[in-house]
Amino acid sequence: MHKPEKPVLSLLTKGVSDNIPLWLMRQAGRYLPEYQEIRKQANGFIDFCLTPSLAAEATLQPLRRFDVDAAILFADILLVPFALGAKVSFLEGEGPRLDPMEDEKKVEELFYTQETIAPVFETLRRVKPQLKDYQTLIGFCGGVWTVACYMIDGQGRQDFVKAKEAAFHQPAFLKALMKKIEEASLAYLLGQIDAGAEVIQIFESHAGQLEGQAFDDFIIQPTQRLVEGIRKQHPNFPIIGFPRGASLDDYKKYFHQTGISGCGLDQNVSLEEAKEQLLPLGCLQGNLDPTLLLEGGAAMERQAKKILGALGSNLIFNLGHGVMKETNPDHMARLVSLVHGFQKGAEA
Ligand code: CP3
């Protein structure tokens, strides 16, 4: 099958591609037995991310199994707080834990040292020459608000109540913290680009926590500044934004106002609304429910075809959130061949 140079890159920069490309969020990780194997070789998850030989291998593992169109750097959004000097740990089966930030005094103590996370750049340099000519190398960071959520609440939560309280009652504290995260994230992303990242994705996983003015202040504006900061040095650099959980109106504003090149959709965005209201703004990425990938079979295939039929004119096929750790890799292989076999213009 003929493939253009790099379909992911081509869609984001030129808006055209012969094929509908795909990659999957969390395509590396615990659902792969070979990941579990190398994970044991590190002293904890941060050490794993900061050991280029292991992180490069984890990045490449899914590409050995599946014909995906992009590699995503193996790292984590919480490496930025780590490089700012926050204590970050990952408890087995429980997710991340950070010492919660409480006030501006704590914020003043944060100091970003790029050397701390420089091994990530080495990971990118090792991965790049191993990609096929049509595969795009994606770097990433967390959205500034999402990283602040973890730093203030100290762990993943349903509602990030302390971070939201800060948004409404301690805006000076939240803004000071977010400024540090934003500056660090920009330096980190520029480092990734220098090391070979061809596209950047900003994971605003907890965008759905805010709406109205707070969505503008704490999500749109910092994202806009990150995008500008990157483009000041790399004009037109392709950037995917992923404001997971945002309302349709906020998705529209986010896509329109931040300057991103493509917008990631979670599985709750309806295909009809995405087609009518978001596709005219540019390239979309998403949005198969990871639970359908877990389930596999006819239900997964039906929904994948619906997505391809509705958005295929300007789509990077992906999930609406990351691959779940219980997922059978065979389901993923089936999905990849379905997407690659889909002809543009076919009926859903
Ligand atoms: O394949 C890839 O997508 C690349 C690597 C990647 C990881 N995390 C590896 C990881 C990426 C892009 C991320 C992003 C990330 N990390 C996000 C944004 C996307 C999302 O899921 O919303 C967030 C919120 C985090 C923070 C984080 N890291 C959490 C909440 C957890 C625990 C939950 C979980 O799935 O374990 C992590 C740990 C983590 N990050 C693992 C992996 C492979 C599991 C670590 C392990 O091996 O035990």
Residue 196, domain extent: 22-273
Residue 200 lies in a domain: yes
Ligand 1 pocket residue status of 284, Cβ below 6 Å? no
CA of 322 to the centre of ligand 1 (A): 8
**Is 314 domain-assigned?**
no
CATH number of the domain enclosing 239: 3.20.20.210
Q: Specify the range with the lowest mean pLDDT, choosing from 172-176, 220-224, 302-306, 341-345.
A: 341-345
Annotation marks residue 254 as catalytic: no
Tell me the residue length of the chain: 348
Distance between CA atoms of residues 54 and 29, nearest Å: 12
Q: Is the pLDDT of residue 345 over 70?
A: no
Domain assignment present for 94: yes
The predicted structure's pLDDT at residue 18: 83
Residue 337 lies in a domain: no
β-pairing, 88-91 vs 199-204, is unpaired
Is omega for the bond preceding 328 within 30 degrees of 0, making it cis? no
Q: Which of 26, 32, 201 to mutate to test the pocket of ligand 1 (most atoms within 8 A of CB)?
A: 26
The whole-number pLDDT of residue 2 equals 59
**Catalytic residue, candidates 30, 65, 97, 334:** 30
Question: Which of 31, 35, 112, 150 does the annotation list as catalytic?
Answer: 150
Q: What is the pLDDT of residues 11-52, one digit of tens each?
A: 999 998 888 999 999 999 999 999 999 999 999 999 999 999
Range of lowest pLDDT (111-115, 116-120, 343-347): 343-347
- 170 CB-contact burial (10 Å; exposed 0-12 / middle 13-18 / buried 19+): middle
Q: Is the pLDDT of residue 1 over 90?
A: no
Total-model pTM = 0.97
Give the mean model confidence (pLDDT) for residues 194-198.
Answer: 98
Q: What is the pLDDT of residues 201-239, one digit of tens each?
A: 999 999 999 999 999 999 999 999 999 999 999 999 999
Give the residue, by CA position, lying nearest to ligand 1 atom 35.
Answer: 95
Q: By C-alpha distance, which of 303, 309, 260 is closest to 283?
A: 260
Structure tokens at 192: 């990734």
Indicate the DSSP class of residue 278: I
Amino acid at 3: K
Residue 303 lies in a domain: no
Residue 211 lies in a domain: yes
Q: What is the whole-number distance in angstroms between the Cα of residue 280 and the centre of ligand 1?
A: 31
333 within domain boundaries: no
Each as own residue / partner, the long-range contacts of residues 223-227 (CB below 8 Å, 24 or more positions apart, any chain) are 223/143, 223/144, 223/254, 223/258, 223/260, 224/257, 224/258, 224/259, 225/182, 225/186, 226/144, 226/182, 226/185, 226/186, 226/189, 226/202, 227/258, 227/259, 227/260
Q: What pLDDT is recorded for position 257?
A: 98
Tokens 């919660």 correspond to: 100
| CB 78 less than 6 A from any atom of ligand 1 | yes
Q: How confident is the model at residue 159 (pLDDT cuts 50, 70, 90)?
A: very high
- Nearest-atom number in ligand 1 for the CA of 322 is 21
pLDDT tens column, 171-194: 999 999 999 999 999 999 999 999
Q: 348 CA distance to ligand 1 centroid (A)?
A: 32
Mean pLDDT across the chain = 96
**Structure confidence at residue 93 as a pLDDT band (50, 70, 90):** confident
Identify whether 140 is part of a domain: yes
Number of domains in the chain: 1
The pLDDT > 90 percentage for the chain reads 94
**C-alpha span between 181 and 229 (Å, rounded):** 14
Residue 3 pLDDT exceeds 80: no
* Mean pLDDT, range 245-270, rounded to an integer: 98
